[in-house]
Amino acid sequence: MSQTTTLTFDALTALICEIFVKAGFSPRAAGSLAATIAAGERDACKSHGVYRIEGCLRTVKAGKVAPAAEPAVEDEGGAIIRVDAANGFSGPAFDLGAPLAAERAKKLGVAALVINRCTHFSALWPEIETLTGMGVAALAMCPSYATVAPAGGAKPLLGTNPIAFGWPRPGGNPYVFDFATSVAARGEIELYRRAGRQLPEGWGLDAEGRPTTDPAEALAGAMLPFGGHKGSAISTMVELLAGAMIGDLTSAEALDYLGTTALAPHHGELILAFSPERFAAGRRGDPFARAEVLFEAIAGQGARLPSQRRFTARAKAMAEGIVLSAEEMALMERLREGGLDAVA
């Protein structure tokens, strides 16, 4: 087995932050992105962990994202709060808008945080957990770039379009699910390619539209939506709500803008925040207590709740540290040393 290095969460975050600052990111953007990537490693979500750093730098070098952009809030006091990411990464824009969305949801019952003109490369659960930590339920979604064929088709059109939901649980970890609307995230397929492993059946098509288990062929061809026509329709909904409706790019337009899938995608994001107390006011029962009954009934059948694997990995990593491979450490060292010169 190759040599590994164990870092604390804080040490890994600081190392990634240093790479970004040296590459010209603002301290705000560097801190936000580093925390998200380190959280991916901490929670054993490698498809959005350390390997994404290089893609972020590549996107900066290609001039497709502004690493020191300052996001700006447009808020008229209603249910819609917009943050213009100003062609920067989504993280700083989310950090700015999230407290406003949570506060507005508590006042009105529901609020929408719309992020425009951002590069979004990350998992959605860190955003969802920020909002559940503020006491609201949340639903987030965004396009990506056209890599997924609609059910019945064979050419990339939809994105891997993630959708995530969270519900706060008093005194414990929230209920959270977060998944691509493709069978698997593109990042997951990329990790299969790097490991020289074949994909499970049903994940992708080659460039001629034939089923393939070769990750390189699926990356060059088309990925498939989860659940056939059902995932295809949910993915289309994401294009509509978090693309067309918010006046931002669809996945097909994002691919046109980038011209490649080797860079992190540029588009918008829609995040809805709900106050369960406001919706349930004057009606039967406490929504949080009723949710606990449901969660216990699910677990009572031997099923696991989504994010349980992640929370278990998190507890272990916080107690014992985050284990990184020699290749991952070498990558970070190379990027810290060389900055933008180290990426193609």
Give the catalytic positions in this structure: 47-48, 188
Residues linked to residue 211 through DSSP beta bridges, in sequence order: 205
Judged by CB under 6 A, does residue 49 bind ligand PYC?
no
Residues 154-173 that bind ligand NDP (CB under 6 A): 160, 162, 164
Residue 144 binding ligand PYC, by CB under 6 A: yes
**Residue 290: Cβ within 10 Å count:** 12
Q: Which long-range contacts (CB under 8 A, 24 or more apart) does 172-176 make?
A: 173/307, 173/311, 174/128, 174/129, 174/132, 174/133, 174/307, 175/291, 175/295, 175/305, 175/306, 175/307, 176/125, 176/128, 176/129, 176/132, 176/306, 176/307
Our CB check for ligand NDP shows the closer of 127 and 336 to be 127
Cα(342)–Cα(344) distance, integer angstroms: 7
N-to-C CA span, the chain: 29
Strand-pair partners of 113: 81, 271
Nearer to ligand NDP, 132 or 275 (CB): 132
Tell me the closest approach of the beta carbon of residue 184 to ligand NDP, in angstroms: 4
Interface positions, 43-72, toward ligand NDP (CB under 6 A): 47-48
Decide: is 304 part of the binding site for ligand NDP (CB under 6 A).
Answer: yes
Please choose which of ligand PYC, ligand NDP, none residue 179 contacts, taking the beta carbon within 5 to 8 angstroms, the exact cut-off set by kind: ligand NDP
Contacts of 150-155 with CB under 8 Å at 24 or more apart are: 150/225, 150/232, 150/235, 150/236, 151/224, 151/225, 151/228, 151/229, 151/231, 151/232, 152/229, 152/232, 154/205, 154/209, 154/222, 155/209, 155/222
* Residue 306 binding: pick among ligand NDP, ligand PYC, none (C-beta 5-8 Å cut-off by kind): ligand NDP
Is position 177 an interface residue for ligand NDP (rule: CB under 6 A)?
Answer: yes
CB of 182 to ligand PYC, least distance (A): 7
Q: Provide the minimum distance between the beta carbon of 175 and ligand NDP in the complex, in angstroms, as a whole number.
A: 10
Q: How far is the CB of 1 from ligand PYC (least distance, A)?
A: 27
Number of residues that bind ligand NDP (CB under 6 A): 26
Are 144 and 124 spatial neighbours (Cβ–Cβ below 8 Å)? no
Name the one range near ligand PYC by CB under 6 A: 86-94, 182-190, 289-297, 302-310. Answer: 182-190
Binding of ligand NDP by 266 (CB under 6 A):
no
Smallest separation (angstroms) from ligand NDP to the CB of 219: 14
Residue 325, interface with ligand PYC (CB under 6 A)?
no
* DSSP state for residue 62 in the 8-state scheme: T
Single residue of 52, 310, 314, 336 touching ligand NDP by CB under 6 A: 310
Nearer to ligand NDP, 225 or 287 (CB): 225
When asked if residue 230 is in the footprint of ligand NDP (CB under 6 A), the reply is: no
Q: In this structure, are strands 80-89 and 110-119 parallel, antiparallel, or unpaired?
A: parallel
- DSSP per-residue string spanning 121-188: -S-SHHHHHHHHHTT-EEEEE----S-BPPTT--S--B----EEEEE--TTSPPEEEEE-SBSS-HHH
Write each residue from 103 to 132 as x if it is in contact with ligand NDP (CB under 6 A), else as -, in one continuous string.
-----------------xxxxxx-------
Q: Where is 255: in which H helix or E strand?
A: helix 251-258
Q: Which of 180, 272, 273, 322 binds ligand NDP (CB under 6 A)?
A: 180
**Residue 47 binds to ligand PYC (criterion: CB under 6 A):** yes
Which chain residues interact with ligand NDP by CB under 6 A? 47-48, 120-125, 142, 144, 160, 162, 164, 177-180, 184-185, 188, 304, 306-310
